[in-house]
Amino acid sequence: MDGFGNRDGKIWLDGDLVNWQDAKVHILSHAMHYASSVFEGERAYCGVVFKSREHAIRLIKSCSLLEMDLSFSLDDIEQAKQDVIQGNSLEDCYLRTIVWRGVGKNMGVSAPQNPIHMAICAWRMGEYFPSKKNGASLDISKWRRPDPLSFPPQAKASALYATATLAKHAAERQEFSGALMMDYRGYIAEATGANIFFAKDGEVHTPIAKTFLNGITRQTVIALLSQQGIHVIERDIRPEELPTFDECWLTGTAAEITPVIQIGHDYFYEPKTMTNTVTDLYSDAVQGPKVERNAMYS
């Protein structure tokens, strides 16, 4: 296999399933030059996309925040995802939906008349972090999440991932799995592509989603823990607090629940009761007990 540009399969593009290698974008597309695109990452388990409708709703919201008029409805998006899964004969897979401004009559920052396109791809995906079973390690990045007045943080926009790419590249050069990023004020924000949680004294602490995306997996985990009577505290967390926590984990559609065993060169954690609890709760939520799954998808 020669990478993602040279695969067999089908991609949903503006309403049609096309051959993978025929899904092309013009080089003068506005998104290529000015980052005017939004996307969703989703996982399907046994052919069913977890929180599918929530992801589609967030995609539409992201389009609105970036002033992109999406012509496809919520139901259209839901059907398109199923078409992609079935068209590629997949069950457990990762889906990437992307919406972008295409090429128009003018080439510049302003592009209100440029056509809006949408595509959905799907492929088999294992663990996001190769070290997931042993736990992820995070560098402490110099790059920060911006002031919310710089860009709408609740848009899952490609532009916001440029700093995450820089942070992750720097981390990988030092043999870390990813990086911990602060916000513009210096408080802990998130990791590169995943939200972060900490545990101590039977409680769970997580940064307030003010300067970063309030992940759907993050919201799911908070709800699952709350249902078990576990107190989840959303608050500003200072980096000086890192040595006070006993456990740490990441959440995200791709990352699922990934334990963190190290942050920087000074802080170390061990997955214990709380990490194991949230891992089991999330696994049951996305897949259900084995007997139930077999009945549901037979």
Strand, helix or coil for residue 11? strand
β-strand partners of 139:
179
Q: How far is CA 100 from CA 28, 29, 206, in A?
A: 12, 8, 32
Check if 156 is active-site.
Answer: yes
What stretches of the chain show up as alpha helix (H) in DSSP? 30-34, 52-65, 74-87, 162-173, 216-227, 273-287, 290-297
Catalytic residue among 51, 81, 156, 168: 156
Can you tell me the distance from the alpha carbon of 54 to that of 59, in angstroms, rounded to the nearest whole number?
9
Q: How far is CA 281 from the centre of its chain?
A: 19
Residue pair 81/47 in contact (Cβ under 8 Å)? The answer is no
Tell me, letter by letter, the H, E, C secondary structure of 46-88: CCEECCHHHHHHHHHHHHHHCCCCCCCCHHHHHHHHHHHHHHC
Check residue 229 and give left, alpha or beta (phi > 0: left; psi -120 to 50: alpha). Answer: left
- Joined together, the tokens standing for residue 12 give 């949903």
For residue 208, the tally of other CB atoms under 10 A from its CB is 15
Q: Are 213 and 262 in contact (CB under 8 A)?
A: no
Contacts of 179 (CB under 8 A, 6+ apart): 138, 139, 140, 141, 143, 167, 168, 170, 171, 191, 192
User: Which position has the token pair 């891992």?
Assistant: 279
CB 176 within 8 A of CB 165: no
What residues are labeled active site?
156
